[in-house]
Amino acid sequence: MTDVTLAILAGGAGSRMGMPKAELRVGGRPILEHLLARFAWDGPTMLVTAPGRERPPGSESLGREAVDAVAGEGPLRGVLTALEHAATDLVVVATVDMPGVIQKQLRWLVEELSRRPDALGVMARRGTEVEPFPAAFRRTAREVVTREIADKKLSVRRLVARPHFLAISAPNEWGEEVWRNLNFPDDLAGL
């Protein structure tokens, strides 16, 4: 995976959490450090933040930081920022608020995308539900993502309705922990 950029989206305000999620701590260390240990990524790494949320704790552990050009356009803007700043053709995108994701899931997404040279992006499907993250994209997906944002269609999940974006059934053995999302302070219990 040395030729795939890992981008971690960490630009949200965390209004339900009561603080920006990039400032959370797990086991006494910044959540970004916790995630990087779980991902054990060999390739380039990038943190994607929003204006005014730059350099959260642990950000120095990532190879670079890219800041969204426009605030308030959600995770789809973060995906675009990652695609615009990646130096590799493939980008796997994780979020700062999904601590159950490990390298195994990221690698699977990249492998699924790599097997499909015409695909621009791959997300996981759980039953009938499309999970927008983690996801893998070709850098060339930025054209479609740019149009979606210009049309004020800001849903990452909605990309699978576009040509060349796929939702593929996730392996059953992944379990529910992978999809755990930190939205409220109580969600940190057990980490």
pLDDT at 115: 97
113 close to 131: Cβ distance less than 8 angstroms: no
What does each C-alpha distance from 99 to 8, 36, 109, 143, 179 come to in angstroms? Answer: 12, 10, 17, 30, 9
Distance CA 85, CA 106 (A): 19
Length of the chain measured in residues: 191
Collapsed DSSP state (helix, strand, coil) of residue 120? coil
Architecture per CATH, domain 4-184, reads as Alpha-Beta Complex (3.90)
pLDDT at 1: 73
56 close to 23: Cβ distance less than 8 angstroms: yes
CA angle, 169 then 149 then 94, to 5°: 40
pLDDT at 105: 97
Q: Is 146 exposed, middle or buried (0-12, 13-18, 19+ CB in 10 A)?
A: middle
* pLDDT of the chain, 191 residues: tens digit per residue: 789 999 999 988 878 988 889 999 998 999 999 999 999 999 999 999 999 999 999 999 999 999 999 998 999 999 999 999 999 999 999 999 999 999 999 999 999 999 999 999 999 999 999 999 999 999 999 999 999 999 999 999 999 999 999 999 999 999 888 999 999 888 888 77
pLDDT at 15: 83
Question: Nearest CA to 77 among 49, 57, 44, 56?
Answer: 49
